[in-house]
Structure 1
Amino acid sequence: MSSPYSAGPQMLGYLYQVQYALLTLLKADDDEANAIVIEGLDDVELNGATFLELQQLKHHIGTKRQATLSNSSLDLWKSLRIWSEGIAQKRWNPLQTKLTLITTARAVSGSIASKLREHAGERNTKEALQELVTLAADTTAKAAAKAQAALAQGKKVQPTELEELVTVFGALKPAQQKQLVEAIVVVDQAPTMHNLEEPIKNKLRIVAPKDRLNQVYTHLLGWWYATVAEQLLNAPGANKPIKWIDLKTEIDEIIPQYRADRLPTFFARAEPDEDHYKALQGQMFVRQLDYLVLDAKRIRYAVKDYFRAFQERTKWATDKLLVGREVEDYEADLQERWERFVNRLPYQPEYSSYLEDDEACLRFGRRVLDWVEEANFPIRPAMPPTADYITRGSYHMIADRDVPPVYWHPKFLEKMAELVQEAGN
């Protein structure tokens, strides 16, 4: 249940701002100079080689009827206040700047906002300017009269929000007002948060595999939110722009991951937390490693590989990227490769007597583990070399079964059976 003070609409507004910025950059010309800054000079700032676009975004939800943008709408005047302060402080050149008010509301027919639409047949900046100047003057005059009347009665009245907003525009010089209005473009009835997905997908449709469009969209959105978050964490005024070429490069890297001969990777640098390391200490694959008397760091690397491979495989299954019994077939292939290696290893002189004593068993087991850690058998042929952790982690997942079909120490199954028998007695 929402309250008058609910943060939901505000949070949705922030998400809308971030997602619309992605659409803006996707729509930008193929120009390496184009770049986006979130919460820079404005909600969204698009920089080009010879132009600057500042966007104010207004998102409306929860109304039975579509919200409207009238001459007295606070959305209009809040944007005008921000832009009026910008032009007064000379933060940007009005002759090279486009000021865009993007709103999910509908501009009322014949209103100031309707006359600032980009469509040639509707746009009339001269009339819009006259009406803004008149409205600002009338509102200021009425506010002054109201304050004077209250003062005569020994009272004090607080100006309304609209009365405060119009004074900033009204304080500009006529030439500044004209430059400001001529730079404004109103984009009304913009897609809501729920409807932004489709225009973004339309931009990806021409490059993404048809049957993987949803996954490509989700993958790109994850990268975009992470990139914007990194930008917002920078010190105020030090925001690093997200360039069009960076976005294009990311798309170019994502698309091949969804070809038939490859699977996407998301967890190549994922780090399990300390609780995860502790929770896995009793797992079968860790017990196997303990039998080889390894140092703690090597075991942590194995846990890391297990964690990353498990996360990748879970996401592939969740996103329905796997075909048939692909994972089962992959594990069967890994198991056979292990069997072949273990069967030929005793033919090497240094491992020919590997069952004679405990030290020989340890040497043999460590050599098998070395082979696993050096292995890279991709689940699909075009997997990148950096996805080798999937092979290592998958081996540890197979080694984690109650009766593991792969093991390192040659007598591990015997030792495990002895422990089970002792526990039963």
Structure 2
Amino acid sequence: MKDPDASPSAAGYGYQYERALYRIFTAPNAQTRFGIETADDVEEISQTATGSRRVSEQAKLSVQPRKNPLQDSSKNLWKTLRIWLNGLAAARKEHEELQFLLVTNRVLKKGTLAMRLSDALSKQDVADAVVALRTHAAGMTGKPGEIARDVIAYSDADLAFLIEHMSIEDGQLNAQMKQRVIASLHLPEDAVANAEDIYHGLVGFLFDHCQETWVARKSFWTTAQPYYNKRQALVEAFMNGPWEPLPFEKTEFAEWAEKIDPADMLFVEQLTKINMPKNLLMKQFGFYCAAYSERIRLLESGGVLSKDFDLAERVLSDRWEAIHDRHQLDNMTSLDDYGTADYKSVMTKTLFPETFPMKVGRVNSTAQYLFSGTYHRMANADGTHSPIHWHRDAPTSEDES
């Protein structure tokens, strides 16, 4: 890698976008304003009954599982305190309420200096925290020591005010920030399956807005409303646009294969009659189970109706009949004179095209299991309005001997 420090830095910027989105979708109201890379990593300003409230957030991501990014003598901790103290006087004049929030994805131990500052609630706790801050700073050296000396140059009153109004959210809440953002979106049930795509759409939307602003050499500020609008547009796009079926391996085909006896399936008898090899027959049985599972899931979702499946089966039936007609025409053979080779030829052309297109309501599928499994359901003639067959006669005892 060209620069081993580049990836953690890039990850840290990504973490800020996640934190900004979380704040946007948990905002007090749609008019709340948000800044990224302004006075802090993320700022939130909202109106209260008595004035304005500002939340100043510093986000510290660690990509090392066991590393505490807020150790007692870490630059992260002391630089954050210095940033907040440098802007404290101006912020107190401008805003009625202030909150300072330090966020990390790592779990911090109780008793560390950072947690002592965060946990200081009573006046005595705050006073003790000020002493602890000054005591620790006195023993620090190097660049962190220089930053610490800048911090303790402020008055006890300023340090106490900052400690009273600061808190830390550690990895107990923020280890899985993407999931926390997705939960804050409050997606309708029909859009939950596309939650990650919606999340990615919002991250990209925020990134584009930031880039446009920063390229123009301006500070990035926005309200929550554009992101509420974008979330709604993404939800509608996924809910009203075409759906895709689950991949074969994510269906419940294995569970249904345990419940269904292949010997009870008419389509299995018919495929056996035309000598389909056992391994291919069991593969087709798996397709049938997967298609059955997906049919149930789609119907229960409410997004696909029984009539949609009826129409899809009608289309498949028309295709099967056309293949039959072509076979009879090419071979000058009537249906009554079909032998095993004729049935096998029609079955092969029906089940093994180059692609497997199928439309069921809003579902646009190219999944082989749904295509073939639906055909087998139609061959079973159980509940379908468009029955077909792979062979018209069930195996006889003579055939099975």
TM-score range, shorter-chain basis?
0.5 to 0.7
Residues 70 and 108, structure 1, Cα contact 8 Å, conserved in 2: no
Alpha-carbon distance in structure 2 between the residues aligned to 1:114 and 1:127: 16
Alignment of 1:70-149 (within 5 A): 70-88=71-89, 90=91, 93=94, 95-117=96-118, 122-124=119-121, 126=123, 129-139=126-136, 141-142=138-139
Residues 103 and 188, structure 1, Cα contact 8 Å, conserved in 2: yes
Alpha-carbon distance in structure 1 between the residues aligned to 2:77 and 2:158: 18
- TM superposition shift of 1:69: 3.6
CA shift in 2, pair 1:126/1:188, >3 Å: farther
Alpha-carbon distance in structure 1 between the residues aligned to 2:169 and 2:219: 26
CA-based RMSD? 3.4
Residues 261 and 380, structure 1, Cα contact 8 Å, conserved in 2: no
Residues 82 and 147, structure 2, Cα contact 8 Å, conserved in 1: yes
Q: 5+ unaligned residues in a row in structure 2: which ranges?
A: 244-307, 316-358, 363-401
- TM superposition shift of 1:40: 0.8
Task: Say which SS state the counterpart of residue 73 (structure 2) adopts.
Answer: coil
CA shift in 2, pair 1:162/1:125, >3 Å: farther
Q: Deviations over 1:218-248 (max 9, x none)?
A: 222221221222233342xx42422111111
- TM superposition shift of 1:43: 0.7
Residues 67 and 104, structure 1, Cα contact 8 Å, conserved in 2: no
- TM superposition shift of 1:249: 1.1
Alpha-carbon distance in structure 1 between the residues aligned to 2:170 and 2:67: 11
CA shift in 2, pair 1:125/1:170, >3 Å: farther
Specify which of 13, 36, 39 is matched with residue 38 of structure 1.
36
Residues 116 and 125, structure 1, Cα contact 8 Å, conserved in 2: no
Alpha-carbon distance in structure 2 between the residues aligned to 1:199 and 1:72: 30
Task: Say which SS state the counterpart of residue 25 (structure 2) adopts.
Answer: helix
Specify which of 137, 145, 170 is matched with residue 188 of structure 1.
170
Matched, 1:168 2:165: no
Tell me the residue number matched to 1:22.
21
Tell me the residue number matched to 1:220.
202
- TM superposition shift of 1:76: 1.8
CA shift in 2, pair 1:168/1:132, >3 Å: farther
Task: Say which SS state the counterpart of residue 111 (structure 2) adopts.
Answer: coil
Residues 205 and 213, structure 1, Cα contact 8 Å, conserved in 2: no
CA shift in 2, pair 1:257/1:38, >3 Å: same
Residues 68 and 107, structure 1, Cα contact 8 Å, conserved in 2: no
Moved over 6 A (4+): 379-382
Alpha-carbon distance in structure 2 between the residues aligned to 1:51 and 1:243: 15
Residues 81 and 168, structure 1, Cα contact 8 Å, conserved in 2: yes
Alignment of 1:242-257 (within 5 A): 242-257=222-237
CA shift in 2, pair 1:139/1:214, >3 Å: closer
1:166 maps to amino acid: A
Alignment of 1:352-367 (within 5 A): none
Alpha-carbon distance in structure 2 between the residues aligned to 1:14 and 1:190: 20
Residues 54 and 95, structure 2, Cα contact 8 Å, conserved in 1: no
CA shift in 2, pair 1:113/1:138, >3 Å: closer
Q: Deviations over 1:269-311 (max 9, x none)?
A: xxxxxxxxxxxxxxxxxxxxxxxxxxxxxxxxxxxxxxxxxxx
Task: Say which SS state the counterpart of residue 114 (structure 1) adopts.
Answer: helix
- TM superposition shift of 1:37: 0.8
Q: Deviations over 1:159-184 (max 9, x none)?
A: 51232122222122222222211111
Residues 9 and 61, structure 1, Cα contact 8 Å, conserved in 2: yes
Matched, 1:57 2:59: yes
Residues 61 and 105, structure 2, Cα contact 8 Å, conserved in 1: yes
Residues 26 and 203, structure 1, Cα contact 8 Å, conserved in 2: yes
CA shift in 2, pair 1:140/1:26, >3 Å: closer
Alpha-carbon distance in structure 2 between the residues aligned to 1:213 and 1:90: 37
CA shift in 2, pair 1:103/1:2, >3 Å: farther
CA shift in 2, pair 1:76/1:126, >3 Å: farther
Tell me the residue number matched to 1:341.
none
2:54 maps to amino acid: L
Task: Say which SS state the counterpart of residue 27 (structure 1) adopts.
Answer: coil
Alpha-carbon distance in structure 2 between the residues aligned to 1:24 and 1:44: 9
Residues 105 and 189, structure 1, Cα contact 8 Å, conserved in 2: yes
Tell me the residue number matched to 2:45.
47
CA shift in 2, pair 1:142/1:227, >3 Å: closer
1:133 maps to amino acid: V
The farther-off stretch of 128-137 and 162-171 is 128-137
CA shift in 2, pair 1:131/1:204, >3 Å: same
2:196 maps to amino acid: N
1:34 maps to amino acid: T
Q: Deviations over 1:92-124 (max 9, x none)?
A: 65751111000123332123432454xxxx553
Alpha-carbon distance in structure 1 between the residues aligned to 2:238 and 2:139: 63
TM-score of the pair, normalised by structure 2: 0.53
TM-score of the pair, normalised by structure 1: 0.50
Alpha-carbon distance in structure 1 between the residues aligned to 2:150 and 2:56: 18
Residues 174 and 180, structure 2, Cα contact 8 Å, conserved in 1: no
Alpha-carbon distance in structure 1 between the residues aligned to 2:58 and 2:38: 11
1:76 maps to amino acid: L
Kindly tell me the number of residue pairs found equivalent between the two proteins.
246
Tell me the residue number matched to 2:9.
10
Residues 40 and 58, structure 2, Cα contact 8 Å, conserved in 1: yes
Residues 36 and 220, structure 2, Cα contact 8 Å, conserved in 1: no
